[in-house]
Amino acid sequence: MIGDIMSISRLRMGTDGEGVSTLITLHGCPLSCKYCINDYCHDEFCERSAYTPEKLVEVLKKDDIYFKMSGGGIVFGGGEPLLQSEFIAEVFRIADSKWKKRIETSLNVPWENIEPLLPLTDEWIIDIKDIDEGIYRKYTGCSNAVVKENLLKMKEHIPAENMKIRVPYIPDYNTEKNVEKSVKWVRNALGIEAEQFGYFVTEKKQ
């Protein structure tokens, strides 16, 4: 089994949950966000590396002591990491049990990509964009029906404290009122207080 990896970023703090973390960004994403943070994840020819789970864990071991002392660990992002969920599951299975295992995702993938990872993942960091179908579609080019379904299913399987939900203010696409509506939906449907934040916009795709 091979992971299609764009980058491995070590010794991160304060950006991917508690403690020191190593962020592994995986190639590919089903969405086309207008302010994509990693637009090269859509580029078939961008520079990247092939790793087996064992080879990746060897790299991650370099920071073992930092992970354990800080309560940190490994986080998969992207792109949409859940497009390579089997690879992630194998890495989580063979990684040190004391490392925190986290996934940063938009959750816009089939449930089959999520379910096997539920017992293996300590924290899900989920950027839901906007809960309004029209705004979501305008911003990402896709429907968010699957995202809502996945959120509701996850609530039935894992504790709410394992789901960190983020709702962005997206310049030109939603308003503070829209953000409030999304936060309210998350509160009512999932019993979770979502974190609000603003996208830092550098460039908008046409």
Write out the residues near ligand SF4 by the rule CB under 6 A: 29, 31-33, 36-38, 41, 78-80, 106
User: Shortest Cβ distance from residue 123 to ligand SF4 (Å)?
Assistant: 18
For the chain, the distance separating the N- and C-terminal CA atoms, rounded to the nearest angstrom, is 36
User: Shortest Cβ distance from residue 201 to ligand SF4 (Å)?
Assistant: 12
User: Shortest Cβ distance from residue 179 to ligand SF4 (Å)?
Assistant: 17
Report d(CA 14, CA 68) in Å as an integer.
16
Report d(CA 158, CA 83) in Å as an integer.
21
Report the amino acid identity of residue 106. Answer: S
- CB nearer ligand SF4, residue 33 or residue 74: 33
Which positions ≥6 away from 181 have C-beta within 8 Å? 131, 132
- CB nearer ligand SF4, residue 32 or residue 175: 32
Nearest alpha-carbon partner for 95 in 59, 69, 124: 59
- CB nearer ligand SF4, residue 3 or residue 78: 78
- CB nearer ligand SF4, residue 26 or residue 57: 26
User: Shortest Cβ distance from residue 41 to ligand SF4 (Å)?
Assistant: 5
To the nearest 10 degrees (0 to 180), the angle between helices 176-190 and 145-157 is 40
